[in-house]
Structure 1
């Protein structure tokens, strides 16, 4: 990518999109195009088509999506399927129509079957049944991967896909009803400390294992892939290590400085027992994550306190 190539970051105010925008700016890219959802509704085919026809971006990072944790995914099943399909269908098709040089589509580790062998390899896609709670979201993301491959096959479009593990970082969602586990725990422990609550209740048993990647690492990986990967099939992006939800909770409790008790609500779902990415494909290309989990969470928490 030339430093003054026109680059459209779709979803630039979200956790991932904002990190990609920061990384591009830090690396000296100057011709960056963004639109808020109020300025451009990517669910609207006509408006998306008009935007692409007028702006003619050279490169597209597709980080716009409807996202949430277990509760949101399971409650708003139709919304998660419909909105994600519409966003990616509109953007990917218009990238083809308007001769975008390259597009990177961002998905999620939930594309893999619930009981897929660990760590999750790229070729485990479509080999088994999905985790029921986030199946609609996963199906939308699988469709996005296959759409990129189909446009590459039929039209020779240079469209690629990256599948990150669980994300955290600046501009995360801290709404307790529809956020992911790490920001939800940060908020719970922070509020319990501020309000002197004697205990914090956490969903599930604490036994599931999860991997967490800082959004700045993902942004770095996305730019790396945009410049170094041109092929069919998605690429896993992760750190290659996991941690139990119990140990994550204890780590966040320590970082926040909360001294009360931790209580597990085992009536609530755990989700997939383990989700660890096999990241040998991207590591073999020459990219590795740099930000350790404790360092990353401390940084996020300090920035959140300042704001």
Structure 2
């Protein structure tokens, strides 16, 4: 049984990687959500968020807005990452509640789990160990968002759910080679090497860490699936004190394997060299998606197919992509 998506939906972060995919999916279903650009609604401004919620009165809120970035961005701007995400989440969740919003979906990240969590990582691994230092501020903000949703559910009886995606990629990603995540950064780097005739591409770390990758269209589908799931079904498969749900592909690859795949897709034939003096990050990040599978959903886009599609999108948008 489904609760559906009746009423007015506010999609916060509709221009981001996940937000844009959710928007595409909603549009295909004939639903046009409330949207605001950053210049139209600054989610860091509590008064602006309060006025928006009071005037628009959404029935459902999807919180896909976040300050995001790769290892380099997190390491160079930790204060920005923890401050902006905490403030944004607090403003949207609290003001949504005050405006009478009963249903909300919060999008987190798999970096919430401890650096050395048992693999694959179950939802119960949350707060059981030390986080990966390179993205700890961002992770703490996301953990706070999960706990805020849980706390509002317990105290006020609302239905605020959280989904924790693994590493995402796809159309609309940030392809900057330093400030983006590993998959889009490598796509751009290998593409540039092919175009410039470079015969050597250097990659941070040893190449041994393993990562799971989920196409953003799968993430959008999973998000709406979880949001629409009947509350009684959702609550039977979750713990009220641990209500977030992992969203992943269910399999992982090493960074070296990923680099080889991207080199093949882009047509790069030169050397791939790893720099072990640079940080690897978390040794492995694979989510246990058993809870979501029990609910009735699983990913459908294979990695190679997704990378090929993403590369075609990149080629068609290469000249207009942001450089920072």
Give the TM-score of the pair, scaled to structure 1.
Answer: 0.98
- Between the aligned partners of 2:170 and 2:314, the Cα distance in structure 1 is 10
- What is aligned with 2:191? 190
Equivalent residue runs for 1:25-174 within 5 Å: 25-30=27-32, 32-174=33-175
Consecutive unaligned residues of structure 1, counting only runs of 5 or more, are none
2:305 aligned with 1:304? no
Question: Using the alignment, how far apart are the partners of 1:225 and 1:184 within structure 2?
Answer: 30
Q: Provide the aligned length of Structure 1 versus Structure 2.
A: 306
Asked whether the equivalents of residues 4 and 228 of structure 2 are also in contact (C-alpha less than 8 Å), the reply is no
**1:263 match:** 273
Q: Could you tell me whether the CA contact under 8 Å between 2:165 and 2:219 is conserved in 1?
A: yes
Whole-Å Cα distance in 2 between the matches of residues 185 and 149 of structure 1? 37
Residues 93 and 155 of structure 1, relative CA distance in 2, 3 Å threshold? same
What is aligned with 1:20? 22
SS in structure 2 at match of 1:236: strand
Q: Confirm or deny: 8 A CA contact 1:211 1:243 kept in the other structure.
A: yes
Structure 2 runs not aligned, ≥5 long:
318-324
Residue 245 (structure 1) aligned with residue 255 (structure 2)? yes
Q: How far does the alpha carbon of each residue in 1:168-223 deviate from its partner, in whole angstroms, 9 at most, with x for none?
A: 01110111221000000000000000111111111100000000000000000000
CA shift in 2, pair 1:156/1:227, >3 Å: same
Q: Within 1, Cα distance between the matches of 2:222 and 2:169?
A: 15
Q: Which residue of 1 aligns with 2:321?
A: none
Question: Post-superposition shift, 1:227?
Answer: 0.7
Q: Deviations over 1:114-136 (max 9, x none)?
A: 01100000000000110111000
Q: Distance in 2 between matches of 1:288 and 1:21?
A: 20
* Deviations, residues 77-113 of structure 1 (Å, cap 9, x unaligned): 1100000000000000011101113100000000000
Change (3 A) 1:210 1:50: same
Instruction: Give secondary structure in 1 for the equivalent of 2:184.
Output: helix
Deviation at 1:228, TM superposition (A): 0.7
SS of aligned partner of 1:61: strand
Name the residue aligned to 1:9: 11
Deviations 1:226-246 (CA, angstroms, capped at 9, x unpaired): 011644310000011000000
Query: Quick check: 1:205–1:264 contact (8 Å CA) kept in 2?
Result: yes
- Give 1:284's aligned residue: 294
Instruction: Measure the CA separation in 1 of the matches of 2:76 and 2:261.
Output: 29
SS at match of 1:33: coil
Name the CA distance, whole Å, in 2 between partners of 1:261 and 1:279: 35
How far did residue 38 of structure 1 move? 1.2
Match of 2:215 in 1: 214
Paired with 2:81 and 2:182, the residues of 1 have a C-alpha distance of 18
User: Deviation string for 1:244-279 (max 9, x for gaps)?
Assistant: 000000000000001111111111100000000000
8 Å CA contact retained: 1:4, 1:29 = no
